[in-house]
C-alpha cells in the first residue's frame, strides 16, 4: 500500500480506508463543487475544463468527469464546445428547492409521527443531541458549527424515513441551498440563530402520534422563515 507513483511527488499517503478522497477525479469534483458552493465561482460564470485542470495540476480527463457529475447535480450546465456555465441561482430555483425540501422533510416528519414509539424515541434522541450541539455552537458564536448542526438536524430527520432515494435527493437540495444562503445566513444577526433553534425545538416537540399535522405545520413555518431569509426579504 501507499506506493509512490512514478511521476512527481504526490500528496502524502494517508490511510487507505474507504475515504476515497485522493483520486484526481474526486479532487476535481470537491474543488469545483466547493468553489461553486462558497461563491468563489459566482453563478453565470463560464468555466472551462482546462482552467480547473491547470489549477489542480492534472489533465482534463478527471476534471471532465467532475463536471459531468456536477451537471447531474444541477450545479453546472455544460454547453457543447463552449464551456461549463455555473448555474445562476434564480428565485424560481429557490422556490423549487424549498418546495422539494418541504415535501421530503414533511414526509419524513409524517412517517416519524406514525412510527412506533421505540423508533420515534430513538430518532428524537438523536435530534436532541444535534440540537444541543447546535445550541452550543450558537452560544459560542461558531457560525460554521451552527450551520453544520442545522444540516445535521434536517438530515437526521430525512434519513429516519429510511428511503435512500429521498435521502440522496435531499442532500442535493441542501447543497443547492447552501449557495443561496451565502449572503443571507451570514448577514442576519444572532436573532436568526435563536429563531432557528426555537423552530427546531418546536418541530421536535410536535413529534408524536396523532400530531402529524401539527408537526407538519411547525416544519412549514420553519421553512417559510428560511424562504423569506433566503429571498433577501
d(CA 74, CA 69): 9
Shortest distance, CB of residue 78 to its own copies, whole angstroms? 11
Region class of 121: left (phi > 0), else alpha (psi between -120 and 50), else beta? alpha
Shortest distance, CB of residue 168 to DNA, whole angstroms? 20
d(CA 211, CA 213): 6
CB-CB contact of 72 with 43 (8 Å) = no
Candidates 68, 125, 205, 231; binder of its own copies (CB under 8 A) is 68
Binders of its own copies among residues 77 to 136 (CB under 8 A) are: 80, 96-97, 99-100, 103-104, 107
d(CA 23, CA 120): 39
d(CA 203, CA 102): 13
Residue 59 binds which of DNA, its own copies, none (CB < 5-8 A, kind-dependent): DNA
CA distances from 52 to 20, 60, 124, 180, 190 (A): 20, 8, 43, 23, 37
Residue 155 binds which of DNA, its own copies, none (CB < 5-8 A, kind-dependent): none
Q: Is 174 in the site for its own copies (CB under 8 A)?
A: no
CB-CB contact of 151 with 125 (8 Å) = no
Neighbours of 137 (CB within 10 A): 20
Binders of its own copies among residues 5 to 34 (CB under 8 A) are: 20, 23
Closer to DNA at the Cβ: 54 or 224? 54
Q: Is 185 in the site for its own copies (CB under 8 A)?
A: no
Q: For the window 186-225, what string marks contact with its own copies as x by the rule CB under 8 A? A: ----------------------------------------
Residue 149 binds which of its own copies, DNA, none (CB < 5-8 A, kind-dependent): none
- Burial class of 71 by CB neighbour count within 10 A (0 to 12, 13 to 18, 19+): middle
Q: Which residues of this protein are in contact with DNA, per CB under 7 A? A: 3, 5-6, 23-25, 47-51, 58-62, 64-65, 67, 78, 80-84
Contact residues: its own copies, CB under 8 A: 20, 23, 64-65, 68-69, 72, 74, 80, 96-97, 99-100, 103-104, 107, 163-166, 169, 173
Amino acid at each position: 500500500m501507499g506506493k509512490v507513483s512514478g511521476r512527481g511527488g504526490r500528496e502524502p499517503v494517508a490511510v487507505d480506508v474507504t475515504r476515497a478522497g485522493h483520486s484526481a477525479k474526486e479532487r476535481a469534483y470537491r474543488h469545483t463543487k466547493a468553489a461553486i458552493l462558497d461563491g468563489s465561482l459566482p453563478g453565470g460564470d463560464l468555466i472551462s475544463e482546462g482552467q480547473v485542470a491547470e489549477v489542480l495540476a492534472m489533465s482534463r480527463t478527471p476534471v471532465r468527469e467532475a463536471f459531468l457529475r456536477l451537471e447531474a447535480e444541477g450545479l453546472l450546465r455544460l454547453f457543447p464546445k463552449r464551456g461549463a456555465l455555473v448555474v445562476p441561482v434564480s428565485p424560481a430555483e429557490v422556490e423549487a428547492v424549498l418546495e422539494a425540501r418541504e415535501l421530503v422533510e414533511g414526509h419524513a416528519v409524517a412517517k416519524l409521527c406514525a412510527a412506533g414509539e421505540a423508533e420515534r424515541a430513538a430518532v428524537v434522541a438523536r435530534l436532541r443531541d444535534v440540537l444541543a450541539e447546535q445550541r452550543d455552537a450558537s452560544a459560542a458564536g461558531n457560525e460554521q458549527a451552527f450551520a453544520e448542526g442545522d444540516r445535521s438536524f434536517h438530515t437526521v430527520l430525512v434519513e429516519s424515513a429510511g428511503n435512500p432515494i429521498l435521502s440522496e435527493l435531499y442532500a442535493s437540495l441542501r447543497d443547492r441551498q447552501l449557495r443561496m444562503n451565502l449572503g443571507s445566513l451570514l448577514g442576519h444577526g444572532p436573532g436568526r440563530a435563536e429563531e432557528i433553534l426555537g423552530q427546531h425545538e418546536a418541530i421536535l416537540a410536535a413529534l408524536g402520534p396523532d400530531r402529524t399535522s401539527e408537526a407538519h405545520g411547525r416544519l412549514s413555518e420553519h421553512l417559510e422563515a428560511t424562504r423569506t431569509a433566503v429571498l433577501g426579504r
